[in-house]
Structure 1
Amino acid sequence: MWLIASLNFFIVQVLPGDPTRVLLPRGSSNVTQGGSDLRAQLIRQWGLDQPITTRYVVYFANLAQGNLGTTITYQKGGFPVAGVIAPRLSTTLVLVGLATAATMWLGIVLGRISGWRRGRRVDVAITMGTLVGYSMPSFWVSLMLIFALAYIVPIFPAYGIQSRDASTFNPITQVLDQLYHYFLPVLTFVITNVAWFSLTLRNSLTDTLPEDYMLTAMAKGLTQKQQLRKHAMPNARLPVLTASALYFGWVVSGAIVIEEVFNIPGLGQLTWDATRVRDFPLLSGVFLVATLGVVVANAVADVLYLYLDPRVREA
């Protein structure tokens, strides 16, 4: 944890740019009418004139108290970073959760078909199709989906996470309305990342099917469906679990582009806005929360490994 927090601090500190330039009134000079240097006042106010070691100590002293600091530019500065991140975090978690669930489900379905029928036309078609989607930039896929399904054929909304009059809806309708708005962003993640799971499961099944216990299951007269469900999948699914933990980190970083394209008020869009105005405390807070999320995802994957793999549990 100390290493993660330290990296977050120093990465943000070495970024180029001066946040005080954003706070100065547009078109004004550094010197106010009273003769004081406004920029120098802002630098002292936010501690930017202190050595980086001093800022580092202050940063960790605040973290020890659960304080992520205050923003420099958000709402004219002085707003708690945690208060800015909290509402954005829930939005990103919904997006990432839906994207991960949809991508995993489709990837497992395609991977089972491709692995069981390896070398056949359906295997080639699935492998080539998923690789094509994986090779396409997510921002381009997002724009194409918006153009096709929001303008040419206006089926889905092009931006946002809810309708303008969503406050008048009943709770169930509000949930359905949000799922409706999340469809295109989630579809973007699925198209560009389904190969992550389908190819992992396909390759795992390719290694599993020639094993002796699979030949024994076949000799017992089990149907192909029984062989796959009872013997092949329990052993082939473990690499998919590892891939899901890695995918969580990937999808969190990819949310920056997706949220910006679809104007989703999540951590990704907040990261972009904070980077643009060089709001160092806000960037540090966002990076720390995102990194902790990836660490938690990997920890959950390790716990599930203990449950799913008796060999790991016995060791």
Structure 2
Amino acid sequence: MNSARTITQLISDFTDQKDINDKSRKAIENALHQFFKYLVIVGRPASTPNERDIIRFKEFLISKKSIYTANSYLSGVKGFYKWTEANDIYKNITAGIRPVKIPKQYSKLPLKPEEVSQLIRSIDGSTFAGTRDKVIIQLMFENGLRAIEVSRLRISDFQTDRSGRPLLYILGKGQQVKEAVTISDSIDQALKELIETRRLTIGKDETLNPSEPLFRSHWIRDGEAKALSAPEIGNIVNNRLKSAGLKHPKISAHSLRHGAAIAALKATNDIFKVQLFLRHTSPNITKLYLTHSEDEYLKSSKIESVLSNLLEVHNLS
């Protein structure tokens, strides 16, 4: 670098010239210290890095950090080298570096536990539809189920293990084999009520076909009721969100699973346990759920109570 100042002095001079609060200043300083620490670890000269070093640092961040954190670090580094070039200290080696792209499906906001609680309380559970919708929402939050996974559930997937714990066998996204997940007592009871109500509609002494969908659509095709489709489930949740005053362009049915991911991270502080909870094939996929700033969300003191036995039921403690 074209300066007699040390890297530490340059970082200090850079942040001192920015009209920002102390918290933002420390965040930028931390991002830059992480970058220069990375250069030392990989054996690159901190005084003369190049564009390839920035690209490799970006790849390192993607493999180790959430997209939000990676972009926060990159922003600090880009700002620093823009400043060094403007002051004839060093060329801007970050000019062609783009932020980490956030996949479209993860651009939605997560629902906070207190919002999920508000959503559930807003539903009249005395009706069949109300009970059904409540348990769908609970499954998508407490168990982190996708809409397509809810759609695929069959009556035969609702079972108990040898110790009497209630289970659901989930056919995950892109999977060929079903996986057992433990459900809470409240979900267990609601599912029993739904199944019993359906059984009574066909005759007191009749039994339901185990291969029937656990959540049926009103549409009849070829003489059989079909499962609620993923879009239908999304519409149900969206309508309930609207009725509860929670609908927002960036809030959707997927926000339940997203919220569950962040709440589980808060409860466990272990991304690998969250990966297992969400049934992801890689922790890097799990990190995509953490693209949004977690500051306010993760400070919620209500997470453990609203997640309804998350730690105990899913053995995440």
**TM over 0.5, yes or no?**
no
RCO comparison, higher one (Cα < 8 Å, 6+): 1
TM-score of the aligned structures, taking structure 2 as reference length: 0.30
Greater strand fraction, Structure 1 or Structure 2: 2
